[in-house]
């Protein structure tokens, strides 16, 4: 009996050693990313920051506004699309833009919500995909792009910036000003995409929160440092007119590959192969927030907070609260 226990203990020790080696090997890449990220942070703080002044919000506002075309594919989004567009219109600190929403003929509910915004004079144009949905996102985006080109011909305008958004996006007010500041010096600008806050018991949503925090705080920063290529996230990303024209010329007028289910990632790599300049931007601004007292008090106080200019997203397990409320909580 004692011999059996001894053999069992030896087996457990060997198994522990094997598992430890497996964890060590699988964690080497994460350790490498962490080391590269920390090295970059130290380099910027010690060598770059003292020599170059940080970008300020005033510099964004001083840049003349370029015309922006916003592309939003929508399939069965009638419950969120109207409020998202109204929030974008009311809170976005930018005026020279037009939103193009792609809908399908067999999704009349979403079409009605978008048409209602057109009637009240919002800068929204509905684009009807000529065949029933759903199709992949790339197909809808291609039809939106063709509609933008027709709109340019009719209105005599040439959009200089093309932005991709989703129907659930909560956009920071300065997003488009940051795009406007960097384009056309850069051909693709990706901003951080982060999840809205979750309760501890919302495990799927919490998983998304962790994944995007890791990806958009560390991984993309290191990828840009090592490879100079960026996969587009599909939201919170903008392209120069030159970039879309180059891709269209190389693909018989089509912008996004309908053969790929990850057209945004694919598009970023195609821009890299064409020699386009890409950048991932983490830009923070300081703002004063008014904090109200309790229900029995009418007093108010202000506090300064640092906000990351980017996009907040709905992910699974989010409670169905009005997007307007979410915007107030997020920014």
Q: pLDDT (tens digit, 9 = 90+) per residue, 50-68?
A: 887 878 888 899 999 999 9
Please identify which residue in the block is written with the tokens 């806050």. 197
**pLDDT surpasses 60 at 111:** yes
Distance CA 133, CA 125 (A): 19
pLDDT at 153: 95
Q: Which of 234, 235, 241 is nearest to 171 (CA)?
A: 235
- pLDDT exceeds cutoff 70 at 331: no
The pLDDT of residue 329 is above 50: no
Q: Report, in angstroms and rounded to the nearest whole number, the Rg of the chain calculated over CA atoms.
A: 23
pLDDT: which is higher, 293 or 191: 191
Integer CA distances (angstroms), 50 to 22, 53, 108, in order: 42, 7, 56
pLDDT band at 298 (very low <50, low <70, confident <90, very high): low
DSSP secondary structure letters along 286-316: EEEEEEE--TT---EEEEEEEEE-SEEE--T
Domain ranges of the chain: 1-52, 57-284
Task: Please say if the pLDDT value at position 122 is more than 90.
Answer: no
**How many whole angstroms separate alpha carbon 248 and alpha carbon 270?**
11
Query: Residue 161's pLDDT band (boundaries 50, 70, 90)?
Result: very high
The confidence score (pLDDT) of residue 210 equals 79
Residue 320 has pLDDT above 50, yes or no: no
Q: Which helix (H) or strand (E) holds 72?
A: strand 68-73
Mean pLDDT of 21-45: 86
Number of alpha helices (DSSP H) and beta strands (DSSP E) in the chain: 11, 12
As a CATH number, domain 57-284 is: 3.90.550.10
CA 29 vs CA 203, 220, 275: distances in Å: 25, 14, 27
pLDDT given for residue 261 in this prediction? 73
pTM, full prediction: 0.82
**C-alpha dist (Å) from residue 248 to 192, 245, 256, 270, 323:** 26, 5, 9, 11, 35
3-class secondary structure, 186: coil
> Which residues, other chains included, contact 150 with Cβ-Cβ below 8 Å and sequence gap of 6+?
none
Rounded mean pLDDT of 181-194?
92
């Amino acid at each position: 009996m004692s011999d059996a226990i001894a053999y069992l203990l030896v087996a457990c020790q060997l198994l522990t050693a094997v598992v430890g080696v497996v964890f060590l090997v699988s964690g080497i890449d994460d350790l490498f990313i962490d080391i590269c990220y920390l090295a970059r942070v130290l380099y910027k703080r010690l060598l770059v920051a003292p020599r170059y002044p940080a970008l300020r919000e005033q510099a964004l506002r001083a840049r003349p506004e370029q015309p922006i075309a916003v592309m939003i594919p929508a399939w069965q989004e009638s419950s969120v699309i109207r409020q998202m567009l109204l929030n974008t219109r009311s809170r976005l600190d930018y005026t020279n833009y037009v939103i193009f929403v792609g809908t399908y003929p067999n999704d009349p509910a979403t079409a009605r919500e978008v048409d209602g915004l057109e009637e009240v004079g919002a800068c929204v144009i509905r684009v009807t995909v000529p065949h029933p949905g759903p199709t992949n996102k790339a197909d809808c985006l291609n039809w939106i792009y063709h509609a933008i080109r027709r709109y340019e011909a009719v209105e005599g305008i040439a959009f200089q910036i093309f932005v991709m958004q989703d129907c659930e996006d909560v956009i920071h007010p300065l997003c488009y000003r940051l795009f406007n500041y960097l384009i056309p010096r850069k051909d693709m600008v990706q901003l951080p995409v982060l999840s809205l806050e979750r309760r501890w018991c919302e495990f799927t949503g919490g998983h998304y929160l962790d994944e995007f925090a890791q990806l958009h705080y560390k991984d993309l920063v290191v990828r840009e440092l090592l490879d100079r290529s960026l996969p587009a996230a599909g939201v919170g990303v903008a392209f120069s007119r030159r970039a879309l024209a180059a891709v269209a010329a190389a693909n018989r007028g089509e912008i996004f590959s309908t053969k790929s289910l990850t057209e945004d990632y694919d598009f970023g790599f195609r821009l890299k192969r064409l020699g386009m300049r890409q950048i991932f931007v983490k830009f923070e601004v300081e703002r004063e927030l008014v904090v109200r007292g309790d229900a029995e008090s009418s007093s108010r106080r202000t506090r300064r907070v640092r906000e990351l200019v980017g996009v907040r997203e709905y992910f699974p397990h989010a409670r169905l609260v009005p997007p307007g409320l979410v915007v107030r909580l997020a920014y």
